[in-house]
Structure 1
Amino acid sequence: MTHAPAHLPHELDPAPPRAPALEQQFPAVVSPLPASAAPRASTPLMRKEHRDNIALFRYQVIRGVADPSLSTRQRGPLVRALAAVDHPWPFGGTRRYSRETLDRWIKAWHRHGFDGLKPEERSTTIGTDPTVLTLAESLKREKPNRTSAQIKRIITETLGQAPSETTLLRHFRAKNISTGARPVATGRFETNHSNEIWVGDALHGPRIGARKTYLFAFLDDHSRMVTAARWAYAEDAIRLSAVLRPALETHGIPEVAYLDNGAAMSDKSLARTCAKLGIRLVHSAPYRPQGRGKIERFFNTVTSQFLGEITVTDTPMLPGTEPEAGSQISSLDELNTLFTAWVNMVYHHSVHSSTGQTPLARWEASWEHRSPVSKPLEVIRQAFLWSDVRTVGKTGTVSLHSNIYEVDPLLAGTKVELVYDPFDLDGLITVNNRQGVPAGIAKPIDIGRHVHTKVTNAVKDNDTATNISTGINYLDLVATRHRQSLTGAPISFADLHDQTTTGNQVQPTIKEESR
């Protein structure tokens, strides 16, 4: 790095004369433009030159006071004097800069040299210049081993700025250019204990009554135990909560929840739940399914061993009626009843080829010298509440999902967080101010909607079960055996907001039985 000479220029004397014309200091930088505005830089090369010219101008302004040999006490009066005079702007007119700005330039020059004085790049075009993409393509074809990051650095050095690595990769794929990414051997991964990682995902299922079904499932990475599973008519956060909440009450709190990037898995309500319960929420990177193989294999088992045994009908099957093939179902409730029985009576008792144990036996063995992390039911209920930020009106009221609530008048004009139960919008709604401090309760004033719009459709999933035949085929035999051993009832959407409900669960853990 080249430093300015130690002696001080005459321009910084207590009574400094007017600085010589800028053309005499660095004529190559001066533009004959009469206006004070900088010229529009419309191409990458012009933008690079523009940033270089501004950096050179800044260096000419601070070159004397930036001498590293000056102490802070010596530099202070000189910078104040420099801030008191006008400086010819290279694009016409004059500019005056505050002491804070000059100090920032000096610090940037000390840390990064000439590059530290360049202004930040700004995007001036909506799309990527085709010429730049052509250059990137040529650089890639010239040396296929060049990474997108390296090509970005080369273009930035040449033109001043470059497209993002994602844009370059997308362009290379569109042109069928190999990105040079070699397969990475990640090896087999498995946690040492249960509840270290729960892997969650959703499986698209059959149509029932012209409505698509979806299976939300969570699998314990160590034991392959299905900690939560339920079929629903939609893939959203409400249905996901209906699956996850009873699982946390029954099986404990996992350390990590490893999920896909679907809308339900990325919903802010789930992020809030995990944060409240101390669960680390991790989403798999796009195009990198490593770590999701276990639940994908489980879904394959569900498809081949369970869904393959089901026949969907339009009308409920009467007792004693012979089905055409497999177990006949006509409602979501029937699907969940058979599936819960199959998971608890068949899957959990089948030896897994990778572990050499049944999921249930491996799960129970993991707790011989340790206990699951549990939370009080009220803490879990609070974690599944939703929150939204709203601005309080001048009258001390706030709107939430078409309802009007009254809050503390002192909060008027400020933003507050409303914490509420989506199943009970006319119930208790707590208010937190912008610092996150509790600020009272929101009092209902005008209630036109009693539940969240997503809840309205979710409650319909809990349709009334109809009679199903038993003793006819495989899944019905499993269901019969499951009903004989089951001691709890399936979770209901309507019970999610009931603080007194403690026995409902999606997947009750059963003990190993003799066969």
Structure 2
Amino acid sequence: MDPKNEQLAVFWCDLLRPILYSEISPEETNRYLKNLAQEPVVYPDGKCKKPSLSTLKRKLAAYRIGGFDALGRKKRNDQGKSRSVAEEIIKAAIAIKKEQPYRSDITINRILEEQFGTTIPRSTLYRHLKDAGATRLKLGVTTKPVRKRWTCENAHDMWVGDFEEGPYVMNGPDAVPTYLSAFIDCCSRYGVSARYYYRQNLDVLIDTLLRALATHGMPLGLYIDNAKVYHSNGLKAACYRTGIRLLYRKKGDPEGGGIIERLFRTIQERFEAEVRAGDILSLDELNHAFAAWLAQDYHKTRHTEIGTTPEEALHQGTRVTRRMDLNAFCTSFMQTVKRTVHATFSDIQLNKRYYKTDPRLRGDRVEVRYDPFSNQDTVQVYSLKGVYLAEGILHQRTAVDPAPPVKAPGKPEND
């Protein structure tokens, strides 16, 4: 799937996520889709418009049949059609809505059918209701979220991830800051993955997550900070492909974020305080000491919130280990660059390394795709139109390749 279609597929999954992740009951699905079709949304191309109910149902069916990769843009069959509605009927519809703000388009059209023998298309109806200030919001109908205690019944139901500033380390002759990236299991308070890095960005978050996935398998959900850097199409696509529910912390809402903030405070008080009291370490030394402390101290110490140690809670709370294909997960993070195949060495240069490819591609402008989280021994070579051409294999330039054989011209068909 090309980046543009993948961005569009993520867009549809974001709209349908309460249904995809069973956050609403099957009986409420149609109501949710109808409500979703009432309000304009911003599409990936920047246009703001209302998704039709038929489109939403078609996208939902496509996902259920073919998964994430089955989603894509399709032209509407009714595009360009219009329908005029009498002013008298529009005024009646507005009055019906104002009389009872909870009335849906179906109820309003049922009343119009009885009074006038006709109905108004949903998009037209809500456009006029919005212009007349006759929406639920404008009529004062609001709902407040119901607060629930943040907890999970089983281990690996939800992992919470975030960053925190760490101690300084030596990087050559310089003392530089570090950042702790961590994921904690919501049920057991077990640190499924935690390491110090020189920076805090999406690549570090994904590296920490991959380490957790490789060790503990796949969680049902992830809960991370709402910062813009984490709203990555690659991360969303990876989660949709594997069925991991991705949640972002709402601004000013601690909820599950308090769980990992408690972990960070414990690390600062019981580990980093001792690190800062001693000689400054290198990054490798810091991570080595931290891994030992995490395994021998934190995971084996009784946690007051759960009444047992994180290690015991993880063991007792693990009902199933959900193994996953990490290669499939990493597919969503493939990076794409354009390169020209060297005319002499039949290779491509990427990040100061050379990749040998098909000699027949000498001099061609190509698209190179690679996994930034792998050892990058190989890359994939595509045409600029997205057609797979060959594989690029890491090599050292030692000799010039012979030119590919030239096919002798045959006898012309028309002489």
- If the length of structure 1 is used for normalisation, what is the TM-score? 0.43
Q: Which structure 2 segments of 5+ residues have no match? A: 1-77, 88-126, 398-415
Pairs within 5 Å for 1:204-219: 204-209=165-170, 210-219=175-184
C-alpha contact (below 8 Å) 1:417/1:434 kept by paired residues = no
Pairs within 5 Å for 1:14-53: none
C-alpha contact (below 8 Å) 2:218/2:322 kept by paired residues = yes
> Does structure 1 residue 195 correspond to structure 2 residue 146?
no
What is the CA deviation profile of residues 417-438 of structure 1, one whole-angstrom value per residue up to 9, with x for unaligned ones? 613355645x211246789775
2:336 to 368, 375, 389: 389
In the other structure, the counterpart of 1:339 is 290
In the other structure, the counterpart of 2:303 is 352
> Does structure 1 residue 373 correspond to structure 2 residue 334?
no
C-alpha contact (below 8 Å) 2:226/2:248 kept by paired residues = yes
Aligned counterparts of 1:408 and 1:361: Cα–Cα separation in 2: 58
Deviation of the 1:339 alpha carbon: 2.0
Pairs within 5 Å for 1:36-75: none
Deviation of the 1:306 alpha carbon: 2.2
What is the CA deviation profile of residues 105-141 of structure 1, one whole-angstrom value per residue up to 9, with x for unaligned ones? 6x4325x667xxxxxxxxxxxxxxxxxxxxxxxxxxx
Q: 1:201 to 1:270 in 2, by over 3 A?
A: same
SS, match of residue 240 in structure 1 = helix
SS, match of residue 178 in structure 2 = strand
1:108 to 82, 85, 98: 82
SS, match of residue 418 in structure 1 = strand
Aligned counterparts of 1:444 and 1:231: Cα–Cα separation in 2: 30
Deviation of the 1:331 alpha carbon: 2.0
Deviation of the 1:358 alpha carbon: 1.6
Deviation of the 1:289 alpha carbon: 3.4
In the other structure, the counterpart of 2:197 is 232
> Does structure 1 residue 257 correspond to structure 2 residue 261?
no
Bigger Rg, which one = 1
RMSD: 4.7
Amino acid at match of 2:296: M
Aligned counterparts of 2:265 and 2:317: Cα–Cα separation in 1: 26
Pairs within 5 Å for 1:49-448: 107-110=81-84, 157=131, 186-209=147-170, 210-262=175-227, 265-267=230-232, 270-271=235-236, 273-275=238-240, 277-311=242-276, 326-367=277-318, 370-375=319-324, 379-381=325-327, 383-384=329-330, 386-390=333-337, 416=367, 418-421=369-372, 424-425=375-376, 427-431=377-381, 439-442=389-392
SS, match of residue 166 in structure 2 = strand
Deviation of the 1:352 alpha carbon: 2.2
Q: 1:158 to 1:245 in 2, by over 3 A?
A: closer
Aligned counterparts of 1:415 and 1:287: Cα–Cα separation in 2: 46
Identity %: 27
Aligned counterparts of 1:228 and 1:285: Cα–Cα separation in 2: 23
Q: 1:428 to 1:104 in 2, by over 3 A?
A: closer
C-alpha contact (below 8 Å) 2:366/2:382 kept by paired residues = no
C-alpha contact (below 8 Å) 1:349/1:358 kept by paired residues = yes
Aligned counterparts of 2:364 and 2:237: Cα–Cα separation in 1: 25
C-alpha contact (below 8 Å) 2:162/2:224 kept by paired residues = yes
What is the CA deviation profile of residues 42-66 of structure 1, one whole-angstrom value per residue up to 9, with x for unaligned ones? xxxxxxxxxxxxxxxxxxxxxxxxx
C-alpha contact (below 8 Å) 2:159/2:221 kept by paired residues = yes
C-alpha contact (below 8 Å) 2:378/2:394 kept by paired residues = no
Deviation of the 1:347 alpha carbon: 1.6
Deviation of the 1:296 alpha carbon: 1.4
Aligned counterparts of 2:233 and 2:351: Cα–Cα separation in 1: 17
Q: 1:417 to 1:108 in 2, by over 3 A?
A: farther
SS, match of residue 167 in structure 2 = strand
Deviation of the 1:293 alpha carbon: 1.6
What is the CA deviation profile of residues 299-357 of structure 1, one whole-angstrom value per residue up to 9, with x for unaligned ones? 1222222223332xxxxxxxxxxxxxx44442222322332222222221222222222
Q: Which structure 1 segments of 5+ residues have no match? A: 1-102, 115-152, 160-164, 166-180, 312-325, 448-515
